[in-house]
Amino acid sequence: MQRTERTAGSVPPAIVARRKVDEMKSAISLGLVVLVLLLSGRAHAAPTTIDVDALTTLVSAVAEAEQNVHRVQALAAQDRERVNAFIADAAQARVAADEAHRNELRASGALGDAEGRLDLLQKGFDRFAAASYVYGPIASAETIADPAELMATAALTESIVLSRKNAADDLSEARTRRVDDLQRARAAAEESERALVETEERRADAVRALANSQHAAADWQRTLNELVAQRNQLQERLDAVTGSHENMPQDPSPVPVPQSSSDPTEAVDRLLALAETSSHATAAMGRTFLARLSTSAQDIPALPARPTSSGPIPVSAGRRASEYVIARALTQRGVDYSWGGGTATGPSRGIGGGADTVGFDCSGLILYAFAGVGIELPHFSGRQYELGRKIPVAQMRRGDVVFYGEGGGQHVALYLGDNVMVEAPTPGGVVTVSPLRTSDMAPYAVRYIES
């Protein structure tokens, strides 16, 4: 099982990002000083005269400030998806532990069968030995005069010897099988125990990651507020120079960072329980979808015990499956963004600031869309990026999935073609159809359904 590289107990990404943001703010502050000097030096110029150098510097500063705001928002989104990664790891560990427990039960059952067979064979061999002792050996051939009796005695002797050998061989084989089954049962029990320990470790990692993120939420918000204030200050100066307010951003307020004081342990346990039921639902919906595609039960491809990330969808039905995925995603337009929200069956309560909101986050929406055709995806964009087949973004088509940030770990959306996509964008927003953004886009899209 792949494990999230950075431990949940390390320095929270918000703190690391804060240091970078401080550098951004220092650069902006220095730019403000330079701009004040440039503008004050022309204070007596004619009101209609605009200094080109000062204006160019100011426009660049506004653009840089706006870019810094978007960078911090992207870092905050990446931090949220990072928590999703730990929860996805914990869910995967729980699946592995369940499988290990099933293997332990199978091995224990096989051992019980082997011990039962050994017991029966041992009792049979003991009865044979006791009978031989009670009735004694068969008369020697030298003492038998009748040829017919001699032949019957020889045949009986051969049969008894063969039976004794077979009984001994069966007993020896049963003992060997019992030893093998005992070793397998012990190994399975040890693996089951390791898997349980791994599950608890991953769960603890997820709880710590969520707690760290919740503690850092206020810092993220404060950072955004400061950057937006500086951006607006620069914009006001630009408006004063140009005498225009057309360049002012339509929404100067930052996207709110989800904040919550909810218990991270309760939240993680709730999401892990949802992940298990979501997996079963995905398998059931996959069988239903395949049944619709097939003309008879014999045509339905065999499904694995658990749904997969590539799915058993025939290539000939790929386009139909992709359109079904898109239709599922589009039915959720207008549903609230909720960090950690979304299962195979629909929107759900999230975590952190999304704990009281029923909705989807970005990876939850993609998980939901593809579950309808039996494709199970983890609830983390970075893991989703590692599955399926990677396609250069220049070659992506309707139904492919687009990712943002390093390793796809920042954001994910479903491509609809014609440079638009459906996504659960940011806290405070809703599932919507948006123009395709190329900034911070990963170099590859991912195709889960071939056609």
Catalytic residue among 104, 198, 376, 423: 423
Contacts of 398 (CB under 8 A, 6+ apart): 322, 326, 415, 416, 417
Of 262 and 29, the structure prediction assigns the larger pLDDT to 262
Could you say which of 198, 376, 379, 411 is catalytic? 411
> Under the phi-then-psi rule, with left for phi > 0, alpha for psi from -120 to 50, and beta for the rest, what region is 59?
alpha
**What average pLDDT does the chain have?**
75
pLDDT tens sequence across 29-41: 555 544 444 444 4
Q: CATH 3.90.1720.10 spans which residues of the chain?
A: 264-447
Q: How much is the pLDDT for 167?
A: 65
- Report residue 369 as tokens: 């869309």
Residue 204 scores a pLDDT above 90:
no
Task: List pLDDT tens digits, range 407-433.
Answer: 999 999 999 999 999 999 988 899 999
Share of residues in the chain with pLDDT > 70 (%) = 63
Neighbour count for residue 422 (Cβ, 10 Å): 21
Say which residue, 50 or 55, is predicted with more confidence: 55
Burial class (CB within 10 angstroms; exposed 0-12, middle 13-18, buried 19+) of 153? middle
d(CA 156, CA 290): 64
pLDDT number for residue 119: 67
pLDDT of residue 153: 53
Q: What's the confidence (pLDDT) of residue 309?
A: 46
For residue 44, indicate whether it is catalytic.
no
Tell me whether residue 362 is one of the annotated catalytic residues: yes
pLDDT grade for 103, boundaries at 50, 70 and 90: confident
CATH of domain 264-447: 3.90.1720.10
Of 110-119, 214-223, 318-327, which gets the smallest average pLDDT? 110-119
423 is catalytic: yes
pLDDT in tens, 338-395: 999 999 999 999 888 788 899 999 999 999 999 999 999 999 999 999 999 999 999 9
Residue 195 identity: A
120, pLDDT greater than 70: no
For residue 104, which of 31, 40, 196 has the smallest C-alpha distance?
196
pLDDT of res. 418: 95
Choice among 104, 191, 362, 379 that is catalytic: 362
What is the per-residue pLDDT for 158? Answer: 58
Residues 216-224 have a mean pLDDT of 73
Q: What six digits make up the tokens of 113?
A: 């069968």
Beta bridge partners of 229: none
Nearest to 442 by CA among 388, 399, 397, 401: 401
**Residue 235 clears pLDDT 70, i.e. is over it:** yes
Q: Are 364 and 403 in contact (CB under 8 A)?
A: no
